[in-house]
A and B are shown apart, each in its own frame.
Chain A
Amino acid sequence: MPIGDSHELCDVWKDQDDEEEGTVQINTEPEDFAQRARSLERQHALLGWSALIVASAISIVALHNVYAAEQPWIRLGQAWMVVVVFYIFVTEFQRRVVKGSDEPCAYFLERQHEERAKSYLRVRRIAPLLVPSIAATWLGGGPLIAAKARGLNPSSWLFQFCAGPGPFIIFGACLIFVWWAFGFSAKKAYRERDEIRCRITG
């Protein structure tokens, strides 16, 4: 028997107008599911390899700069960049998203909010790791060297911008925004997790 005496309410819900039911095709064949599972596994492997290739490409460029650059600050900055890229790759690409869990719904939601908060905080933690690399590259005159290499006119605004502290200031502003935005989102996710936790225990 349903809760209370609301049979009628349940009937209204269950008698939903379902004229499209006959025309909507839902695949319910286990063989197709098995095929989809294999396909997802292949996609996951492909994604992992793609991420590895991208990380390797960035690292090769940075390592080339370490070898080719004359300024020691630039070399140091680029070497640090290689370390950070691989740290991000190793920590981020081993996570899998689980949609269908058999745990009680409230626990599942609690865990989802917690993982969301942690992922925001991870980004917040990783972002400042780029500061030494960017700062060292700027100190070594990296943007200016790049501007000269592109043959920019020394009197152009872009060249002047690269010669000054502009690139570093913009990077700093972006970093502060990321720090704030992700911290805010993490707080919100933790608040939602706590609300659910209260309901589970209370």
Chain B
Amino acid sequence: MKALGLCCKKGRIAGDYSNRRLKKKGLDRGGQDALYHQALGAFGPAIRRLARGYEANREAQRDLVQDIHFELWRSLAHFDQRCSLRTWVYRIAHNVGASHVMQSRRASAGLVDLEELDASQPGHDGELEAAQRLSAVALLDLVRRLRPLDRQVILLYLEGETAADIAEITGLTATNVSTRIHRIKRLLKQMYTEGDVHANRRFS
């Protein structure tokens, strides 16, 4: 019965979940809360933007943000400082986001790889100009069409993370990350040069 998770006596069920977890790892609840508040202060806005990249519906977006915060707080009970808090927060947030996409069959049905979106034409130096004219809406539209792993890379890239950091967060090789980023840049450039209308037509 223990293996089935049915051994919870009333007292155990009602006991402080986090304290039990923390005790096991030799941490205290105060430390967990402090770490959470530190993460919230530093990455709160990034988590909100990230949730937008994973969910288009406003209500569901709010639930996703809430889920990410909850899982982040829970996970910090066993934060062992083998990586930075930034890496930890992004990993938790993106993993919750990816779970959200995978659980929603409708959302994960038409997702594509970067390769499929990537324009094969050679680019020119319109990147900066493209960036200035691209709206956040167009970016979100692009992001939400991608499969979770590509989505993670592009979201981290847009948050200004370096290739090495993205590699550490995602577990991909730095070379692979660089290739993906190169494709993202080319794709965004193409979106600009072709115009949103053409780009959107190509995506749909």
Contacts and interface: CB of A to CB of B under 8 A. Distances in A.
Interface of A: 1-18, 20-21, 24, 26-28, 30, 33-34, 36-38, 41-42, 44-45, 48-49, 52, 90, 93-94, 96, 99-109, 112, 116, 196, 199-202
A26 B69 contact: yes
B98 A20 contact: no
Contact of B8 (A10, A18, A45): A45
A2 B163 CA distance: 8
Nearest to B91: A102
Contacts of A3: 157, 161-163, 178, 181
Interface secondary structure of A, over-half rule: helix
**Secondary structure class of chain B's binding surface, majority of residues:** helix
Contact of B13 (A27, A41, A104, A199): A41
B17 A45 contact: no
B149 A196 contact: yes
Contacts of A90: 4
Interface stretch (B116-124, B125-133, B194-202): B125-133
Given A10-B159, A102-B92, 8 more contacts: A2-B160, A3-B162, A9-B134, A34-B18, A38-B14, A38-B16, A102-B91, A201-B173
8 contacts: A2-B160, A3-B161, A33-B18, A93-B4, A105-B148, A105-B169, A107-B171, A201-B173
Contacts of A105: 91, 94-95, 98, 148-149, 152, 169-171
B136 A16 contact: yes
Contact of B73 (A10, A11, A33): A33
Given A105-B170, A196-B149, A27 B69 contact: yes
Given A107-B171, A199-B176, A100 B98 contact: no
B203 interface: no
B94 to A, nearest CB: 5
Nearest first, the 5 A-B pairs at minimum CB distance are A100-B71, A104-B171, A8-B131, A9-B131, A13-B158
A6 to B, nearest CB: 6
Contacts of A93: 4-5
Contacts of A106: 149, 170-172
A17 B48 CA distance: 12
B158 A103 contact: no
B58 interface: yes
Given A102-B91, A104-B170, A52 B6 contact: yes
Given A8-B128, A30-B32, A104 B168 contact: yes
B98 A109 contact: yes
Given A16-B136, A21-B48, A6 B127 contact: yes
A93 B6 CA distance: 10
Contacts of B91: 101-105, 108
B33 interface: yes
B66 interface: yes
Nearest to B130: A9
Given A48-B5, A49-B6, A105-B152, A30 B33 contact: yes
A14 to B, nearest CB: 7
Given A100-B95, A101-B92, A14 B49 contact: yes
